[in-house]
Structure 1
Amino acid sequence: MLICLLVLLVSVTFNEAIFTDERWQTVQRNFEKYAHSTHKPFPETYADFGKSMSLKHRNSSKILLVDYDFIVVGSGSSGAVVASRLSEIFSWKILLLEAGNSGNFLTTVPLLAALFQLTPYNWNYTTEPQEGVCLGMVGQKCAWPRGKALGGSSVINYMIYTRGNPKDYEKWYNLGNDGWSYPDVLPYFKKSENCKLGKECSNGYHTQGGLWSVMYAFKSRITEAFVEAGVEMGGKIVDYNSEDFMGFSPFQANINRGRRHSVADAFLYPFVTRKNLKILTSARVTKVLLDDTGSAYGVEFQKRGKTYIARASKEVILSAGTFNSPQLLMLSGIGPREHLSELGIPTVRNLPVGQRLYDHIAYVGLAFKINETVEPPEAIFNPAETFKWVFSGTGVFTSLAGVEALGYINTGSIPDPKYPDIELIFAGVGSLESDFGLVVANELRIKREIYNAVFKSLELTPAYTIMPMLLHPKSRGYMKLNSKNPYDRPLFYGNYFSDPEGNDIKTLLAAVRYIQKMSQTTPFQRFGSRIHDTPIPGCEEFVFDSDEYWFCALRTLTVSLHHQIGTCKMGPNSDEEAVVDEKLKVHGISGLRVIDSSVIPVTLSAHTSAPAVMIGEKGADIIKQDWGVL
């Protein structure tokens, strides 16, 4: 029931009658008491840039900014790192452009993670309806949230810090990407990290003293049962961010003193006084500017209803993320020729931008009842608990919105037993009903009739959830422009479960069977664990727990976990699917790089936040090397 706190801010965004409840008002007042004394907003002087940074371009309605050496588009998990690291060279002038605004006091509360995916901090993208998938979602569209804020998705994600399996990066290298093997990238994971994991900090895979805090998150009493159950199933307890990867562990998370530690907190706020780093929020980039030779020389962006041109004497760097970086490339004439021609966009460079897209999907409908409450729900209404979080960074408010631990397993779909095909995500304080269906179910776009039929009866029943996440799908999707208007949202096609052999859905079924066995282990039976067996609407024709039933359920309540990659694939010029090379330069275009998770060439055994930061760290060093300052 801890996730009940997620409703706190919804009263500001949504006019729901339930928020007149005195309990919610009490909790909100508890936080508001401390908000002004502890939160420092992004300096307004950097947003009010008109007088000192721009001049009118003669005979034009556009405003020409003074020149910069580098322009970075997007302040997310890669862009914030790139801009910060490049500004370490004080002779370079850096302009960082972010479409969103800075976060607020409540975005720092870990327990509120899911809530902010229902606010303007989210671009609020969705998939297009496709046959046989997202059947339980409103409009048959799965949610694909993306952060629209200083710090990007690190402001709205679940703060989970996972790097991936070393074998993932060997695959990158074997595709022709020199410098991207595991020994090559490990130093860049360590470079950003400020390890607060205890004994794990000295095992050779972590570093103390970096900018980005990594620590263990909140754990309820039943988290230990999950880890012990994994051991009883034949696994072991591991540091999953080392080479000893396969096994079970509480989550390592980007939290600092009990608060979300976004990339803006780590890489931008400490350096906003650098005179060579200019950061503009609410600045929507609409195009990369290219000259007749195919060289990038700047960007066009809009802010407060005015159009600006910013020039880069050295490079333009797109770090706008897996969706917005390819969108900007295509709007600028870099993309599939046929698609651009259909929209009337002249093709500058014919590249397969947006044509390959991988995603991690997970089944969220597997709930288990237990006999006792593992964390008292009334704690969140206690002013002392709020005081504890504000002044000591401890307690229930440090929970990662209810998710607490993971397990990496191999169900048999991959021959290598040391390489996982599934990540198990353990939510120890409930399932979709833990916030009475107000936040998580809405964030995932789950139909109200499905929630009411399956999960509402659990609202007053102690329960936990284990979600199987498919790590290496064979199905892949794509994205394309909706029009040549930069404000029209792109079209996204997940193509879930489209692999001809049906391996993806069979692997998730195998994971469901594994979880069922896990729920019967001794550690879980101490809590009286038993499956919640209410059938999902639309699947009643199948016998509950038959393979056919689970295939139907998987097509109904499998959701995206927002780890999309690959839309600007990294690979050599000989790779017909590649958009950028191993130095992250766009093929055939000078002065333009893409540095974000869109360049990841193959599926990862990880949530993508930490790899995106690593890409930013390594990308910044590549730029410094190319310009002779490293």
Structure 2
Amino acid sequence: MIRKIKLFILGALLTLSSGGVTNDSRDGFSSEEQGTLKRSYRQHPLIDTLLQSVNPKYEPKQPDDFFDFLRDQYPLPDGLKSPLSEYDYIIVGAGSAGCTLAARLTEDPKTTVLLLEAGKGEMFTTDAPAIAAFFQRTDYTWQYFMEKEPGVCLGMINKKCFWPRGKAIGGTSVINYMIYTRGRPEEWNRIAAAGNVGWSYDEVLEYYKKSERSSLRGLEDSPHRGRKGELNVEFVQYRTPMIDAFLEAGRERGIPTVDYNAPEQLGFGYVQSTTQDGKRVSAAKAFLHRNKNRPNLHILPNTRVTKVLIDSMTKTAYGVQYVRNRLKRNVAARKEVILSAGPIASPQLLMLSGVGPKDHLSSHGIPVIQDLPVGRTLYDHISFPGLIFTLNTTGMTLSESRFAQLPGVIQTVTQWLQYGDGPPASPGAVEGIGYIRTPVSNDPDPVPDMELISIGGSLVSDGGPGGSKAVRRGMMISEKIFDAAYGSIDDTDTWSPFLMLLHPESFGFIELKDNNPWSHPRMHGRYLSDAGGKDVATFVAAVRFVQELVATTPFQRFGARLHRAQYPACRALPFDSDAYWECAVRTLTATLHHQIATCRMGPAGDPQAVVDPRLRVHGLRNLRVVDSSIIPRTVAAHTNAPAIMIGEKAADMIKEDANR
């Protein structure tokens, strides 16, 4: 146990003190801002000494190699030194959908699958849910930035929203906050009604249940939960008193405490997380770890796919081009190429391969194979994390400064490693989820327009002298603006709900920067740009709802008071006015990494569709997209569980099509 604790703390130091900001990810930043980014990744001089104390044979290596002996390994089976030249299926991207799909397709020992991933294997430091924020700015992520746009992300470094996506075996499930949500029945039924046969709520529910291994106390008899799947879902064992205040206040306001993933009614509930005994369960842990030694499943980490190979005459995909160890190679697919690279990389790869908007591809000198609206629709869930309430009690919330001091941290880590509880088990301090309909909603169906994410603290819980400031840095909030707004309450006991807009009217798009596969694409969120201003009005209405919620007895027991944040851009506006809150939301506009619809699903004849309801790319043969980019419209869900469900459903469709 002592060695395990030592390794964990060492691994945490390594992971949190390094990582890469590529030149491309710094594009558009001033020299001063680039210096700030570089300082975030400075290597601690004691790391080599610490490594040698664990492994006497360790020799200092380049930064990209520091973690190799701690990472999950995926050697090719049967002693192979290199992959085969041909497989039945090639899956690009080992994220939530890709891991699921690879595991299901290789259940048939006669089916060969090559799974290609640009990132590396995870390490056991990612198991700790509490430090999820740290991984947003390590080499486990693609360091994407949204293009600078007027009136949003004003409080972020260089006024650009940060869009980290997972770059690991396991994808974004290695760095996310492990929140398990599915979407409301009405939302999936609308998707099916638009011509997407097979995607109604009852139909997707069976695939949610297939993956799930529910360990939710009190819901053992629920007909909506799965119990025999690979993905563990549980209630978080460690809670602060603030979650009980949140749920009790909801009941006082007539909002029931429910299983928020059940279809019957909206309400508040304890967060359900993809963890097991307080430790993260990534898609890789759930679907690959027990299957990675299958002789018919070959997994290549650190492998960058640069192009899908498509015969322009027959419009048939027959393989991919990839770069590994600085060598460019081709590999062939006998049956299908499947893109599971996520809502940014999948559309980028399609466009680089000649599949996308004709005029856009031609402008970059890319021969057009199929003219499709790839990337022309991009929805995202944005949040406002700046609604913070101070408390007149101490020790009631999660505080990094309180739990990170030695020797207490050793006792805390020991308890978590042995029993799966204590502060490390809290998924980024998220404790509860609440769905509400604000007065702004004109939806005829009982669909929420706002999600409240109850935090056992707030943005200031990671501060104080020597604090990591991981949450604020993970969002790339400007230090100057943060200090002006929250410096007076930094590292104090507070409570906050993150407000997440579920069904924005605004939507953006993604396009290529150039025809270089190593360049990041240009991402335009176009947040809060709807002509009618409904998105802003929904945020303001949610703020008013929370103010009424906090006025109830459960919160007033803790003396909860709204903090008067002094945002520099909002100082001329009366505090607590609607205009002030609009300015606040435009200052702290934060993505929750739920981009969808960039490879939009729709039937033949849908001018916005890229793939059909069986996820086949329109007009092409042997090419599918299987990830969250196919979801055609917003759903009330964090996208990890839907991506896994999509992988499950796609596996069955692929097997059915192969047997026809």
Whether TM exceeds 0.5 here: the answer is: yes
CA drift of 1:418 comes to 2.1
1:535 aligns to what? 566
How far apart in 1 are the matches of 2:458 and 2:385?
11
Which one-letter code corresponds to 2:435 in the other structure? Y
Give the percent of matched residue pairs that are identical in Structure 1 and Structure 2: 45
Q: Equivalent residue for 2:110?
A: 91
**Deviation string for 1:326-361 (max 9, x for gaps)?**
001000000000000000001000000000000001
1:240 to 238, 241, 260: 260
SS of the residue 2:330 aligns to? strand
Given the superposition, is the C-alpha separation of residues 441 and 502 from structure 1 closer, same or farther in structure 2, using an over 3 Å criterion?
same
Aligned to 1:62: none
Which whole-Å CA distance do the structure 1 matches of 2:655 and 2:563 have between them?
55
Q: Structure 2: which 5+ residue stretches go unaligned?
A: 1-10, 20-37, 56-68
Match of 2:396 among 370, 374, 378: 374
* Match in the other structure for 2:64: none
AA at the equivalent of 2:172:
S
The equivalences for 1:34-73 within 5 A come to 41-43=71-73, 45-46=75-76, 51-53=81-83, 65-73=84-92
Distance 1:151 1:302 in 2: 20
CA distance in 1, matches of 2:253, 2:101: 42
Give, in whole Å, the separation in 2 of the partners of 1:18 and 1:379. Answer: 24
State the alpha-carbon separation in 2 of the partners of residues 170 and 489 from structure 1.
35
1:456 Cα shift? 2.1
SS at structure 2 position matched to 1:202: coil
Distance 1:466 1:51, change over 3 A: closer
Q: Which moved more, 1:490-499 or 1:424-433?
A: 424-433
User: Does 1:324 find its partner at 2:355?
Assistant: no
Between stretches 11-20 and 153-162, larger displacement belongs to 11-20
Q: Which position in structure 2 is the counterpart of 1:260?
A: 280
Residue of structure 2 equivalent to 1:400: 427
Residues 80 and 263 in structure 1, CA contact (< 8 A), matched pair in contact too = yes
Aligned partner of 1:300 among 314, 317, 321? 321
Specify the SS of the correspondent of 2:284: helix
**Cα deviations across residues 295-327 of structure 1 (Å, max 9, x unaligned)?**
000000000100111100000000000000000
Q: Distance in 1 between matches of 2:245 and 2:633?
A: 33
Letter in 2 for 1:327: Q
The letter for the 2-side match of 1:534 is A
Match of 2:27 in 1: none
Instruction: Give secondary structure in 2 for the equivalent of 1:288.
Output: strand
Q: SS of the residue aligned with 1:467?
A: strand
Mapped to 1, the partners of 2:342 and 2:489 lie a distance apart of 37
Q: Distance in 1 between matches of 2:221 and 2:586?
A: 44
Match of 1:456, SS state, is helix
- Structure 1 residue 76 corresponds to structure 2 residue 72: no
Q: Tell me the secondary structure at the aligned position of residue 580 of structure 1.
A: coil
Q: Kindly tell me: are residues 219 and 245 of structure 1, through their superposed partners in 2, closer, same or farther at Cα, counting changes over 3 Å? A: farther
Partners of 2:398 and 2:516 lie apart in 1 by: 50
- Specify which of 234, 242, 259 is matched with residue 222 of structure 1: 242
**For 1:164, which of 167, 179, 183 is the aligned residue?**
183
Show the counterpart of 2:447.
419
Contact 2:88 2:333 in 1 (8 A): yes
1:390-469 matches, within 5 Å, as 390-412=417-439, 413-416=441-444, 418-435=446-463, 436=467, 438-469=469-500
Question: Shift of the alpha carbon at 1:375?
Answer: 4.4
Write the letter of the residue equivalent to 1:504: D
CA contact (8 A) 2:18 2:42 kept: no
The AA in structure 2 aligned to 1:409 is I
After TM superposition, the structure 1 = structure 2 runs for residues 181-196 of structure 1, keeping only pairs within 5 Å, are: 181-196=200-215
8 Å contact kept, 2:460–2:492? no
Aligned to 2:8: none
SS class of match (2:213): strand
Shift of 1:527: 0.6
1:263-342 superposed matches below 5 A: 263-291=283-311, 292-342=313-363
Residue 299 of structure 1: SS of its match in structure 2?
Answer: strand
Report the secondary structure of 2:600's partner residue: coil
Deviates more, 1:458-467 or 1:492-501: 458-467
**What is residue 349 of structure 1 aligned with on the other side?**
370
- What residue identity is the alignment partner of 1:46? L
Q: Which residue of 2 aligns with 1:550?
A: 581
Q: Which residue of 2 aligns with 1:209?
A: 228
Q: 1:463 to 1:418 in 2, by over 3 A?
A: same
- Shift in Å at residue 215 of structure 1? 0.2
Deviation at 1:534, TM superposition (A): 3.0
Residue 585 of structure 1: how far off its partner (Å): 0.2
Deviates more, 1:73-82 or 1:242-251: 242-251
Report the AA paired with residue 402 of structure 1: A
1:534-588 Cα shifts (integer Å, max 9, x gaps):
3211100001001111111111112111100000010011100000001000000
SS at match of 2:288: helix
The amino acid of 1:576's aligned partner reads P
1:620 aligns with 2:651: yes
Distance between the aligned counterparts of 1:96 and 1:44, measured in 2?
11
* Residue matched to 2:17: 11
1:12 is displaced (CA, Å) by: 4.4
Residues 48, 543 of structure 1: CA spacing in aligned structure 2 closer, same or farther, 3 A cutoff? farther
Residues 548 and 279 from structure 1, CA distance in 2 versus in 1: closer, same or farther, beyond 3 angstroms? same
Question: For the structure 1 residues 376 and 438, does the alpha-carbon distance in structure 2 shift closer, same or farther, using more than 3 Å as the test?
Answer: closer
Q: Relative to structure 1, is the Cα distance of residues 433 and 451 closer, same or farther in structure 2, using a 3 angstrom cutoff?
A: farther
Q: Give per-residue Cα distances to partners, 1:344-393, cap 9 Å, x unaligned.
A: 00100000000000000111111100122214753443222211111221
Shift of 1:277: 0.3
- 199-208 or 161-170, which deviates more: 199-208
| CA apart distance, 1:40 | 7.3
Q: Is the 8 A contact 2:600 2:632 kept in 1?
A: yes
Determine if contact 1:437/1:451 at 8 Å carries over to the other structure: no
Indicate the larger mover: 348-357 or 369-378. Answer: 369-378
Aligned counterparts of 2:496 and 2:304: Cα–Cα separation in 1: 39
Deviation track 1:169-199 (CA, whole Å, cap 9, x = no partner) reads 0111011000000011100000000000022
Task: Check the 8 A contact 1:437/1:456 in 2, yes or no.
Answer: no
Per the alignment, residue 414 of structure 2 pairs with 387
Q: Which whole-Å CA distance do the structure 2 matches of 1:32 and 1:508 have between them?
A: 50
Distance in 2 between the 1:627 and 1:17 partners? 47
Preserved contact between residue 414 and residue 421 of structure 1 (Cα < 8 Å)? no
Supply the distance in 2 between the matched residues of 1:407 and 1:398 (Cα, whole angstroms).
21
Say if 1:277 and 1:524 are closer, same or farther in 2 by CA, change over 3 A: same
Alpha-carbon distance in structure 2 between the residues aligned to 1:45 and 1:164: 37
For structure 1, the residue ranges without an aligned partner over 5 or more in a row are 34-38, 54-64
Contact 1:165 1:245 in 2 (8 A): no
Give RMSD over aligned pairs.
2.5
Taking a change above 3 Å as real, the CA distance of residues 432 and 109 of structure 1, as seen in their structure-2 partners, is same
Inter-partner Cα distance in structure 2 for 1:457 and 1:32? 41
- 2: CA distance, partners of 1:6 / 1:416: 48
Question: What's the TM-score, normalizing by structure 1?
Answer: 0.92
Instruction: Tell me the CA shift for residue 222 of structure 1.
Output: 1.3
2:299 aligned partner, one-letter code: I
Distance 1:94 1:480, change over 3 A: same
> Deviation at 1:448?
1.1
What amino acid is the match of 1:388?
Answer: Q
- Alignment check: 8 A CA contact 1:380 1:386 kept: no
Corresponding position of 2:519: 488
Q: Secondary structure at the match of 2:75?
A: helix
- After superposing the two structures, state which structure 1 stretch, 533-542 or 274-283, moved more: 533-542
Cross-structure match for 2:640: 609
Give the whole-Å Cα distance in 2 for the aligned partners of 1:547 and 1:376.
30
Instruction: Give matches, 1:94-173, under 5 Å.
Output: 94-173=113-192
Q: Secondary structure at the match of 2:396?
A: coil
Structure 1: distance between partners of 2:152 and 2:420: 41
Q: Does 2:510 correspond to 1:479? A: yes
In 2: Cα distance, 1:82 partner to 1:131 partner: 40
CA contact (8 A) 1:47 1:281 kept: no
Task: Confirm or deny: 8 A CA contact 1:46 1:279 kept in the other structure.
Answer: yes
**SS of equivalent to 1:424:** strand
Provide the C-alpha distance between the structure 2 equivalents of 1:538 and 1:314, rounded to a whole number of angstroms: 56
Q: Report the TM-score, using the length of structure 2 for normalisation.
A: 0.88
Residue 58 of structure 2 corresponds to which residue in structure 1?
none
- The correspondence of residues 493-572 of structure 1 with structure 2, limited to 5 A, is 493-572=524-603
- Per-residue deviation, 1:241: 1.0
Q: Structure 1: how far apart are the matches of 2:315 and 2:520?
A: 26
Q: How big is the shift at 1:406?
A: 1.1
